[in-house]
Amino acid sequence: MKRATGDISGWNLLDIERAFSGSDNARLQINSTAAELTGTVFVEPSADGFSVVSTNPNFNANGSRYIYVAIRAPS
């Protein structure tokens, strides 16, 4: 779950139950009643977390700061 600070953008939730891969990031905007959004890659998972790969301003705006929560499933 992430969002930009000091901004009116929404909270975006990405998780492995929807699709969290290098080919699709299904996401929910949890402060909205909109349906799940699919078909775009914003972040790519890695062994030690994730990397932001999008230039979409909701995920990677120049000069913006972001807050996020990341929870790892037990192995």
CB contact set of 20 (below 8 Å; sequence gap of 6+) = 14, 26, 43, 45
Confidence of residue 54 (pLDDT cuts 50, 70, 90): confident
Q: Classify the phi-psi angles of 28: left when phi > 0, otherwise alpha if psi is within -120 to 50, otherwise beta.
A: beta
Q: pLDDT tens digit string along 17-33?
A: 766 666 777 888 888 88
Q: Are 27 and 14 in contact (CB under 8 A)?
A: yes
pLDDT score at 66: 84
- Per-domain boundaries in the chain: 2-68
Which DSSP state fits 19? -
At 7 the pLDDT is 67
Q: Where are the beta strands (DSSP E) in 5-70?
A: 12-14, 27-29, 43-46, 49-52, 66-68
